[in-house]
Structure 1
Protein backbone atom coordinates (compact mmCIF):
# COMPACT_ATOMS: atom_id res chain seq x y z
CA UNK A 1 0.00 0.00 0.00
CA UNK A 2 1.47 3.42 -0.92
CA UNK A 3 2.53 5.72 1.89
CA UNK A 4 1.25 9.31 1.91
CA UNK A 5 4.62 10.53 3.20
CA UNK A 6 6.13 9.61 -0.18
CA UNK A 7 3.80 12.12 -1.89
CA UNK A 8 3.52 14.85 0.75
CA UNK A 9 4.59 18.22 -0.70
CA UNK A 10 3.30 20.37 2.17
CA UNK A 11 5.07 18.93 5.23
CA UNK A 12 2.71 20.69 7.61
CA UNK A 13 2.74 19.99 11.30
CA UNK A 14 0.40 17.02 11.73
CA UNK A 15 -2.10 16.39 14.51
CA UNK A 16 -4.42 13.51 15.36
CA UNK A 17 -7.94 13.31 14.00
CA UNK A 18 -9.87 14.46 17.08
CA UNK A 19 -7.54 17.40 17.78
CA UNK A 20 -7.50 18.39 14.12
CA UNK A 21 -11.24 18.49 13.66
CA UNK A 22 -11.72 20.22 16.99
CA UNK A 23 -9.41 22.92 15.68
CA UNK A 24 -11.06 23.03 12.26
CA UNK A 25 -14.67 22.86 13.41
CA UNK A 26 -15.28 26.62 13.56
CA UNK A 27 -14.32 27.15 9.89
CA UNK A 28 -15.04 23.72 8.37
CA UNK A 29 -18.32 24.73 6.75
CA UNK A 30 -16.56 27.55 4.90
CA UNK A 31 -13.93 25.22 3.44
CA UNK A 32 -15.71 22.13 2.07
CA UNK A 33 -17.55 22.51 -1.22
CA UNK A 34 -20.72 20.51 -1.87
CA UNK A 35 -19.00 19.40 -5.10
CA UNK A 36 -16.68 17.28 -2.97
CA UNK A 37 -19.35 15.07 -1.44
CA UNK A 38 -23.01 16.09 -1.57
CA UNK A 39 -22.99 16.47 -5.35
CA UNK A 40 -21.74 12.89 -5.63
CA UNK A 41 -24.55 11.70 -3.38
CA UNK A 42 -27.03 13.63 -5.53
CA UNK A 43 -25.90 11.69 -8.59
CA UNK A 44 -26.30 8.18 -7.20
CA UNK A 45 -28.95 5.84 -8.59
CA UNK A 46 -28.97 3.75 -5.41
CA UNK A 47 -29.86 3.21 -2.65
CA UNK A 48 -33.49 4.28 -2.66
CA UNK A 49 -33.26 7.02 -0.03
CA UNK A 50 -37.02 7.05 0.46
CA UNK A 51 -36.82 3.42 1.60
CA UNK A 52 -34.26 4.10 4.33
CA UNK A 53 -35.85 4.05 7.80
CA UNK A 54 -32.67 4.12 9.92
CA UNK A 55 -29.24 5.44 8.96
CA UNK A 56 -25.90 5.46 10.77
CA UNK A 57 -23.77 8.48 9.87
CA UNK A 58 -20.21 7.49 10.78
CA UNK A 59 -17.83 10.43 11.04
CA UNK A 60 -20.86 12.71 10.98
CA UNK A 61 -18.87 15.93 11.38
CA UNK A 62 -20.94 19.11 11.45
CA UNK A 63 -24.06 17.28 10.30
CA UNK A 64 -23.93 18.11 6.58
CA UNK A 65 -24.60 14.52 5.53
CA UNK A 66 -27.25 14.07 8.19
CA UNK A 67 -29.08 17.15 6.94
CA UNK A 68 -28.82 15.86 3.35
CA UNK A 69 -30.40 12.56 4.43
CA UNK A 70 -33.19 14.31 6.33
CA UNK A 71 -33.98 16.39 3.23
CA UNK A 72 -34.51 13.12 1.37
CA UNK A 73 -36.96 11.79 3.91
CA UNK A 74 -34.78 9.58 6.11
CA UNK A 75 -36.58 9.77 9.47
CA UNK A 76 -33.89 8.40 11.84
CA UNK A 77 -30.18 9.25 11.61
CA UNK A 78 -27.68 8.33 14.35
CA UNK A 79 -24.34 10.14 14.18
CA UNK A 80 -20.92 9.18 15.53
CA UNK A 81 -17.77 11.32 15.46
CA UNK A 82 -14.44 11.55 17.30
CA UNK A 83 -14.44 15.35 17.51
CA UNK A 84 -16.44 17.12 20.21
CA UNK A 85 -16.07 20.35 18.25
CA UNK A 86 -17.74 18.84 15.20
CA UNK A 87 -20.40 17.12 17.31
CA UNK A 88 -21.27 20.46 18.90
CA UNK A 89 -22.02 21.91 15.48
CA UNK A 90 -24.01 18.83 14.51
CA UNK A 91 -26.12 19.26 17.65
CA UNK A 92 -26.83 22.86 16.67
CA UNK A 93 -27.85 21.74 13.18
CA UNK A 94 -30.33 19.28 14.66
CA UNK A 95 -30.45 16.76 11.81
CA UNK A 96 -29.54 13.69 13.86
CA UNK A 97 -31.75 11.59 16.08
CA UNK A 98 -28.79 10.79 18.34
CA UNK A 99 -25.17 11.92 18.43
CA UNK A 100 -22.31 10.24 20.25
CA UNK A 101 -18.57 10.58 20.46
CA UNK A 102 -17.01 7.43 19.09
CA UNK A 103 -14.73 5.75 16.57
CA UNK A 104 -16.08 4.68 13.17
CA UNK A 105 -14.27 1.35 13.67
CA UNK A 106 -15.98 0.66 16.99
CA UNK A 107 -19.16 2.71 17.11
CA UNK A 108 -21.08 1.14 19.97
CA UNK A 109 -24.19 1.21 17.77
CA UNK A 110 -26.52 -1.81 17.77
CA UNK A 111 -25.72 -4.66 15.41
CA UNK A 112 -27.91 -5.20 12.35
CA UNK A 113 -29.95 -2.09 13.04
CA UNK A 114 -29.43 0.16 10.02
CA UNK A 115 -30.78 0.13 6.47
CA UNK A 116 -27.98 2.54 5.56
CA UNK A 117 -24.48 3.18 6.85
CA UNK A 118 -22.92 6.30 5.39
CA UNK A 119 -19.59 8.12 5.75
CA UNK A 120 -18.11 11.14 4.02
CA UNK A 121 -14.44 12.12 3.75
CA UNK A 122 -13.14 10.01 6.62
CA UNK A 123 -11.28 7.14 5.00
CA UNK A 124 -8.01 9.06 4.61
CA UNK A 125 -7.76 9.22 8.40
CA UNK A 126 -7.82 5.43 8.83
CA UNK A 127 -4.48 3.59 8.83
CA UNK A 128 -6.32 0.37 7.89
CA UNK A 129 -9.66 0.16 6.11
CA UNK A 130 -10.58 -3.35 7.25
CA UNK A 131 -11.91 -2.44 10.72
CA UNK A 132 -14.16 0.26 9.23
CA UNK A 133 -15.74 -2.04 6.66
CA UNK A 134 -16.15 -4.77 9.28
CA UNK A 135 -17.91 -2.41 11.69
CA UNK A 136 -20.18 -1.08 8.94
CA UNK A 137 -21.09 -4.69 8.12
CA UNK A 138 -21.83 -5.43 11.78
CA UNK A 139 -24.30 -2.57 12.20
CA UNK A 140 -25.96 -2.85 8.76
CA UNK A 141 -29.20 -4.77 8.47
CA UNK A 142 -29.48 -7.63 5.96
CA UNK A 143 -30.18 -6.02 2.59
CA UNK A 144 -28.69 -2.74 3.81
CA UNK A 145 -26.25 -0.45 2.04
CA UNK A 146 -22.97 1.26 2.84
CA UNK A 147 -22.25 4.56 1.09
CA UNK A 148 -18.73 5.98 1.40
CA UNK A 149 -17.52 9.25 -0.07
CA UNK A 150 -13.71 9.22 -0.23
CA UNK A 151 -10.95 11.76 -0.83
CA UNK A 152 -9.66 10.40 -4.15
CA UNK A 153 -6.22 8.74 -3.88
CA UNK A 154 -5.20 10.03 -7.30
CA UNK A 155 -5.70 13.62 -6.17
CA UNK A 156 -3.78 12.98 -2.96
CA UNK A 157 -0.87 11.62 -5.00
CA UNK A 158 -0.91 14.33 -7.69
CA UNK A 159 -1.36 17.26 -5.31
CA UNK A 160 0.69 15.95 -2.39
CA UNK A 161 -1.93 17.59 -0.21
CA UNK A 162 -3.02 16.18 3.14
CA UNK A 163 -6.35 16.99 4.71
CA UNK A 164 -5.54 20.26 6.45
CA UNK A 165 -6.91 23.51 7.87
CA UNK A 166 -5.64 26.95 8.84
CA UNK A 167 -5.80 27.64 12.58
CA UNK A 168 -6.53 30.94 14.31
CA UNK A 169 -2.85 31.90 14.24
CA UNK A 170 -2.65 31.40 10.48
CA UNK A 171 -0.68 28.16 10.62
CA UNK A 172 -1.61 25.40 8.15
CA UNK A 173 -2.03 22.16 10.08
CA UNK A 174 -2.41 18.68 8.60
CA UNK A 175 -4.71 16.07 10.05
CA UNK A 176 -3.25 12.57 10.03
CA UNK A 177 -3.63 11.40 6.42
CA UNK A 178 -3.32 7.93 4.89
CA UNK A 179 -3.43 6.91 1.26
CA UNK A 180 -5.85 4.18 0.15
CA UNK A 181 -6.20 3.10 -3.47
CA UNK A 182 -9.66 2.21 -4.75
CA UNK A 183 -8.44 -1.37 -4.95
CA UNK A 184 -7.63 -1.20 -1.22
CA UNK A 185 -11.26 -0.26 -0.59
CA UNK A 186 -12.43 -3.12 -2.78
CA UNK A 187 -10.26 -5.68 -1.00
CA UNK A 188 -11.27 -4.54 2.49
CA UNK A 189 -14.97 -4.26 1.67
CA UNK A 190 -15.19 -7.62 -0.07
CA UNK A 191 -13.32 -9.30 2.78
CA UNK A 192 -16.03 -7.98 5.13
CA UNK A 193 -18.77 -9.38 2.88
CA UNK A 194 -19.81 -6.29 0.90
CA UNK A 195 -20.67 -6.30 -2.81
CA UNK A 196 -20.00 -3.20 -4.92
CA UNK A 197 -23.25 -1.78 -6.31
CA UNK A 198 -22.16 1.61 -7.71
CA UNK A 199 -19.02 3.76 -8.10
CA UNK A 200 -18.79 7.38 -9.22
CA UNK A 201 -15.98 9.94 -9.27
CA UNK A 202 -15.91 13.74 -9.25
CA UNK A 203 -13.23 15.73 -11.06
CA UNK A 204 -11.84 19.22 -10.59
CA UNK A 205 -14.03 21.34 -12.85
CA UNK A 206 -14.99 25.00 -13.32
CA UNK A 207 -16.75 25.05 -9.95
CA UNK A 208 -13.55 24.04 -8.21
CA UNK A 209 -11.32 26.39 -10.20
CA UNK A 210 -13.65 29.32 -9.47
CA UNK A 211 -13.41 28.56 -5.75
CA UNK A 212 -9.69 27.73 -5.80
CA UNK A 213 -7.99 29.47 -8.78
CA UNK A 214 -4.60 27.94 -7.97
CA UNK A 215 -6.14 24.54 -8.70
CA UNK A 216 -6.35 25.26 -12.42
CA UNK A 217 -3.41 22.89 -12.86
CA UNK A 218 -5.52 20.08 -11.39
CA UNK A 219 -8.42 20.52 -13.82
CA UNK A 220 -9.75 17.13 -14.90
CA UNK A 221 -8.14 15.16 -12.09
CA UNK A 222 -10.50 13.10 -9.91
CA UNK A 223 -10.85 14.66 -6.45
CA UNK A 224 -13.39 12.44 -4.71
CA UNK A 225 -15.24 9.19 -5.23
CA UNK A 226 -18.37 7.57 -3.90
CA UNK A 227 -18.82 3.83 -3.47
CA UNK A 228 -22.12 2.11 -2.76
CA UNK A 229 -21.82 -1.33 -1.18
CA UNK A 230 -24.65 -3.83 -0.68
CA UNK A 231 -25.15 -6.38 2.10
CA UNK A 232 -27.05 -9.49 0.99
CA UNK A 233 -30.42 -10.16 2.60
Structure 2
Protein backbone atom coordinates (compact mmCIF):
# COMPACT_ATOMS: atom_id res chain seq x y z
CA UNK A 1 0.00 0.00 0.00
CA UNK A 2 1.32 3.46 -0.93
CA UNK A 3 1.42 6.22 1.70
CA UNK A 4 -0.83 9.16 0.80
CA UNK A 5 1.57 11.61 2.44
CA UNK A 6 4.00 10.89 -0.42
CA UNK A 7 1.48 12.41 -2.86
CA UNK A 8 -0.34 15.07 -0.84
CA UNK A 9 -0.14 18.43 -2.63
CA UNK A 10 -2.90 20.18 -0.67
CA UNK A 11 -1.68 20.02 2.94
CA UNK A 12 -5.22 20.52 4.22
CA UNK A 13 -5.80 19.97 7.94
CA UNK A 14 -6.92 16.35 8.29
CA UNK A 15 -9.53 14.83 10.59
CA UNK A 16 -10.71 11.26 11.22
CA UNK A 17 -13.61 9.72 9.31
CA UNK A 18 -16.30 10.12 11.95
CA UNK A 19 -15.37 13.75 12.65
CA UNK A 20 -15.08 14.65 8.98
CA UNK A 21 -18.35 13.20 7.80
CA UNK A 22 -20.22 14.63 10.79
CA UNK A 23 -19.10 18.06 9.61
CA UNK A 24 -19.59 17.38 5.89
CA UNK A 25 -23.09 15.93 6.21
CA UNK A 26 -24.93 19.23 5.58
CA UNK A 27 -23.40 19.69 2.12
CA UNK A 28 -22.36 16.13 1.25
CA UNK A 29 -25.02 15.34 -1.32
CA UNK A 30 -24.54 18.70 -3.04
CA UNK A 31 -20.81 18.16 -3.47
CA UNK A 32 -20.40 14.45 -4.27
CA UNK A 33 -20.96 13.84 -7.97
CA UNK A 34 -22.91 10.79 -9.13
CA UNK A 35 -20.32 10.45 -11.90
CA UNK A 36 -17.83 9.28 -9.29
CA UNK A 37 -19.70 6.19 -8.18
CA UNK A 38 -23.33 5.74 -9.28
CA UNK A 39 -22.50 6.22 -12.95
CA UNK A 40 -19.80 3.54 -12.64
CA UNK A 41 -22.23 1.15 -10.97
CA UNK A 42 -24.61 1.74 -13.88
CA UNK A 43 -21.92 0.48 -16.27
CA UNK A 44 -21.45 -2.88 -14.58
CA UNK A 45 -22.89 -5.93 -16.31
CA UNK A 46 -22.13 -8.79 -13.90
CA UNK A 47 -24.44 -7.83 -11.02
CA UNK A 48 -28.03 -8.91 -11.62
CA UNK A 49 -29.43 -5.96 -9.68
CA UNK A 50 -33.06 -6.88 -10.30
CA UNK A 51 -32.51 -10.31 -8.72
CA UNK A 52 -31.10 -8.99 -5.45
CA UNK A 53 -33.47 -9.88 -2.63
CA UNK A 54 -31.30 -8.99 0.36
CA UNK A 55 -28.39 -6.57 0.43
CA UNK A 56 -25.97 -5.05 2.93
CA UNK A 57 -24.84 -1.47 2.28
CA UNK A 58 -21.54 -0.99 4.14
CA UNK A 59 -20.55 2.61 4.79
CA UNK A 60 -24.03 3.63 3.66
CA UNK A 61 -23.58 7.31 4.55
CA UNK A 62 -26.56 9.46 3.67
CA UNK A 63 -28.22 6.63 1.76
CA UNK A 64 -27.22 7.62 -1.78
CA UNK A 65 -26.18 4.11 -2.76
CA UNK A 66 -29.14 2.56 -0.98
CA UNK A 67 -31.59 4.79 -2.83
CA UNK A 68 -29.88 3.95 -6.14
CA UNK A 69 -30.03 0.22 -5.39
CA UNK A 70 -33.67 0.46 -4.31
CA UNK A 71 -34.44 1.73 -7.81
CA UNK A 72 -32.61 -1.19 -9.46
CA UNK A 73 -33.47 -4.18 -7.29
CA UNK A 74 -36.58 -6.30 -6.91
CA UNK A 75 -39.62 -4.73 -5.26
CA UNK A 76 -39.19 -6.90 -2.17
CA UNK A 77 -35.57 -5.90 -1.53
CA UNK A 78 -34.47 -6.08 2.11
CA UNK A 79 -31.65 -3.58 2.56
CA UNK A 80 -29.54 -3.21 5.70
CA UNK A 81 -27.08 -0.34 6.10
CA UNK A 82 -24.24 0.42 8.49
CA UNK A 83 -22.10 3.52 8.90
CA UNK A 84 -19.70 4.98 11.46
CA UNK A 85 -21.26 8.44 11.54
CA UNK A 86 -24.57 9.06 13.34
CA UNK A 87 -25.14 12.33 11.49
CA UNK A 88 -24.94 10.56 8.11
CA UNK A 89 -27.26 7.82 9.33
CA UNK A 90 -29.83 10.45 10.36
CA UNK A 91 -30.00 11.66 6.76
CA UNK A 92 -30.24 8.08 5.49
CA UNK A 93 -33.20 7.47 7.81
CA UNK A 94 -35.03 10.39 6.22
CA UNK A 95 -34.55 8.79 2.79
CA UNK A 96 -36.13 5.56 4.05
CA UNK A 97 -34.34 3.46 1.42
CA UNK A 98 -33.05 1.00 4.03
CA UNK A 99 -35.01 -1.49 6.10
CA UNK A 100 -32.50 -1.20 8.93
CA UNK A 101 -29.65 1.20 9.76
CA UNK A 102 -27.00 0.74 12.42
CA UNK A 103 -23.92 2.57 13.63
CA UNK A 104 -21.06 0.13 13.03
CA UNK A 105 -17.68 -0.36 11.41
CA UNK A 106 -17.64 -1.95 7.94
CA UNK A 107 -15.16 -4.52 9.26
CA UNK A 108 -17.41 -5.53 12.16
CA UNK A 109 -20.98 -4.82 11.15
CA UNK A 110 -22.89 -6.98 13.61
CA UNK A 111 -25.14 -8.08 10.73
CA UNK A 112 -26.07 -11.78 10.43
CA UNK A 113 -23.75 -13.85 8.29
CA UNK A 114 -24.31 -15.95 5.22
CA UNK A 115 -27.57 -14.54 3.95
CA UNK A 116 -26.93 -11.56 1.67
CA UNK A 117 -27.22 -11.74 -2.11
CA UNK A 118 -25.20 -8.53 -2.35
CA UNK A 119 -22.74 -6.61 -0.21
CA UNK A 120 -22.15 -3.15 -1.65
CA UNK A 121 -19.90 -0.23 -0.67
CA UNK A 122 -19.30 3.13 -2.27
CA UNK A 123 -16.59 5.74 -1.72
CA UNK A 124 -15.23 4.27 1.49
CA UNK A 125 -12.11 2.24 0.67
CA UNK A 126 -9.76 5.25 0.77
CA UNK A 127 -10.66 5.63 4.44
CA UNK A 128 -9.63 2.07 5.35
CA UNK A 129 -6.08 1.58 6.56
CA UNK A 130 -6.32 -2.13 5.64
CA UNK A 131 -8.63 -3.63 3.03
CA UNK A 132 -8.44 -7.15 4.44
CA UNK A 133 -10.99 -6.74 7.27
CA UNK A 134 -13.55 -5.23 4.86
CA UNK A 135 -13.29 -8.06 2.35
CA UNK A 136 -13.39 -10.71 5.11
CA UNK A 137 -16.51 -9.18 6.64
CA UNK A 138 -18.18 -8.93 3.24
CA UNK A 139 -17.37 -12.63 2.69
CA UNK A 140 -18.91 -13.50 6.05
CA UNK A 141 -22.11 -11.63 5.19
CA UNK A 142 -22.60 -13.01 1.67
CA UNK A 143 -24.47 -16.20 0.89
CA UNK A 144 -22.83 -18.82 -1.36
CA UNK A 145 -23.06 -17.36 -4.86
CA UNK A 146 -23.49 -13.85 -3.48
CA UNK A 147 -21.70 -10.81 -4.82
CA UNK A 148 -19.63 -8.01 -3.34
CA UNK A 149 -19.48 -4.73 -5.26
CA UNK A 150 -17.09 -1.98 -4.23
CA UNK A 151 -16.71 1.34 -6.04
CA UNK A 152 -14.36 4.13 -5.06
CA UNK A 153 -11.76 6.65 -6.05
CA UNK A 154 -9.10 5.26 -8.37
CA UNK A 155 -5.70 5.06 -6.66
CA UNK A 156 -4.08 6.65 -9.69
CA UNK A 157 -6.25 9.74 -9.36
CA UNK A 158 -5.49 10.16 -5.67
CA UNK A 159 -1.78 9.91 -6.48
CA UNK A 160 -1.77 12.06 -9.62
CA UNK A 161 -3.95 14.82 -8.19
CA UNK A 162 -2.35 14.65 -4.74
CA UNK A 163 -5.83 15.31 -3.42
CA UNK A 164 -7.35 13.70 -0.33
CA UNK A 165 -11.06 13.25 0.21
CA UNK A 166 -12.02 16.69 1.49
CA UNK A 167 -14.86 19.13 2.05
CA UNK A 168 -15.39 22.81 2.74
CA UNK A 169 -16.27 23.54 6.35
CA UNK A 170 -18.94 25.98 7.51
CA UNK A 171 -16.10 28.47 8.02
CA UNK A 172 -15.02 28.08 4.39
CA UNK A 173 -11.88 26.03 5.17
CA UNK A 174 -10.86 22.98 3.16
CA UNK A 175 -10.72 20.00 5.51
CA UNK A 176 -9.29 16.59 4.54
CA UNK A 177 -10.58 13.27 5.83
CA UNK A 178 -8.08 10.50 6.54
CA UNK A 179 -7.11 9.12 3.13
CA UNK A 180 -5.21 5.96 2.20
CA UNK A 181 -3.99 4.87 -1.22
CA UNK A 182 -4.85 1.28 -2.16
CA UNK A 183 -3.43 0.09 -5.46
CA UNK A 184 -5.56 -2.10 -7.70
CA UNK A 185 -3.27 -4.98 -6.72
CA UNK A 186 -4.04 -4.27 -3.05
CA UNK A 187 -7.73 -4.86 -3.78
CA UNK A 188 -7.00 -8.03 -5.71
CA UNK A 189 -4.70 -9.37 -3.01
CA UNK A 190 -7.16 -8.64 -0.18
CA UNK A 191 -10.22 -9.87 -2.07
CA UNK A 192 -8.62 -13.10 -3.22
CA UNK A 193 -7.19 -13.76 0.25
CA UNK A 194 -10.70 -13.45 1.71
CA UNK A 195 -11.96 -16.10 -0.72
CA UNK A 196 -13.60 -13.91 -3.36
CA UNK A 197 -13.42 -14.48 -7.13
CA UNK A 198 -13.21 -11.32 -9.25
CA UNK A 199 -15.84 -11.43 -12.01
CA UNK A 200 -15.79 -7.85 -13.31
CA UNK A 201 -13.90 -4.60 -12.95
CA UNK A 202 -14.62 -1.17 -14.43
CA UNK A 203 -12.52 1.99 -14.49
CA UNK A 204 -13.88 5.42 -15.31
CA UNK A 205 -11.79 8.29 -16.68
CA UNK A 206 -12.12 12.05 -16.60
CA UNK A 207 -14.11 12.74 -19.77
CA UNK A 208 -16.26 15.52 -21.26
CA UNK A 209 -18.99 14.89 -18.71
CA UNK A 210 -16.51 15.28 -15.88
CA UNK A 211 -14.99 18.44 -17.39
CA UNK A 212 -18.49 19.93 -17.61
CA UNK A 213 -18.90 19.28 -13.90
CA UNK A 214 -15.39 20.37 -12.93
CA UNK A 215 -13.72 22.55 -15.60
CA UNK A 216 -10.50 22.73 -13.57
CA UNK A 217 -10.08 19.00 -14.13
CA UNK A 218 -9.22 19.54 -17.80
CA UNK A 219 -5.61 18.82 -16.86
CA UNK A 220 -6.72 15.35 -15.73
CA UNK A 221 -8.56 14.51 -18.95
CA UNK A 222 -8.42 10.77 -19.72
CA UNK A 223 -6.90 10.00 -16.29
CA UNK A 224 -8.60 7.21 -14.32
CA UNK A 225 -10.83 8.73 -11.64
CA UNK A 226 -12.83 5.86 -10.11
CA UNK A 227 -12.95 2.07 -10.16
CA UNK A 228 -15.42 -0.67 -9.36
CA UNK A 229 -14.78 -4.30 -8.41
CA UNK A 230 -17.36 -7.08 -8.59
CA UNK A 231 -16.64 -10.24 -6.59
CA UNK A 232 -18.45 -13.55 -6.32
CA UNK A 233 -18.51 -15.99 -3.40
CA UNK A 234 -17.94 -19.30 -5.17
CA UNK A 235 -16.59 -21.42 -2.32
Q: If the length of structure 1 is used for normalisation, what is the TM-score?
A: 0.98
* Runs of 5+ consecutive residues of structure 1 not aligned to the other structure: none
Q: Distance in 1 between matches of 2:223 and 2:78?
A: 36
State the 1:140 CA deviation.
0.6
Structure 2 segments unaligned to the other structure (5+ residues): none
Could you tell me how far apart the structure 1 residues matched to 2:205 and 2:53 are?
32
Aligned residue for 1:2, secondary structure, equals coil
| Structure-2 residue corresponding to 1:182 | 184
Is the aligned partner of 1:64 residue 2:64?
Answer: yes
Question: Runs of 4 or more off by more than 3 Å in structure 1?
Answer: none
Residue 207 of structure 1 and its aligned partner are, at CA, apart by 1.6
Count of residue correspondences: 233
Deviation digits for residues 37-92 of structure 1 (CA, Å, limit 9, x no counterpart): 11111111121111111000000011111011110134111000001111111001
CA–CA distance in structure 2, aligned partners of residues 47 and 93 of structure 1 = 24
Superimposed CA distance per residue, residues 3-60 of structure 1 (whole angstroms, 9 cap, x where no aligned partner) = 0000000111110101101111110111111111111111111211111110000000
Distance 2:49 2:73 in 1: 7
- Alignment partner of 1:145 out of 147, 156, 166: 147
Q: Who is 1:204 aligned against?
A: 206
Give the deviation of 1:208 after TM superposition: 1.4
Superposition deviation, residue 186 in structure 1: 0.2
Aligned to 2:40: 40
* TM-score, normalised relative to structure 2: 0.97
SS at 2:199 equivalent: strand
- Name the CA distance, whole Å, in 1 between partners of 2:222 and 2:85: 33
Q: Among residues 156, 172, 175, which one is paired with 1:154 in the alignment?
A: 156
Partner of 2:19: 19
Asked whether the 8 Å contact 2:144–2:233 carries over to 1, the reply is yes
Cα distance in 2, alignment partners of residues 59 and 66 from structure 1:
10
**Could you tell me which residue of structure 2 aligns to residue 127 of structure 1?**
129
- Structure 2 match to 1:114: 116
Cα deviation, 1:125-166, whole Å, max 9, x if unaligned, reads 000000000000011111100000021000001000000000
Alpha-carbon separation, structure 2, partners of 1:100 and 1:22: 16
RMSD: 0.8
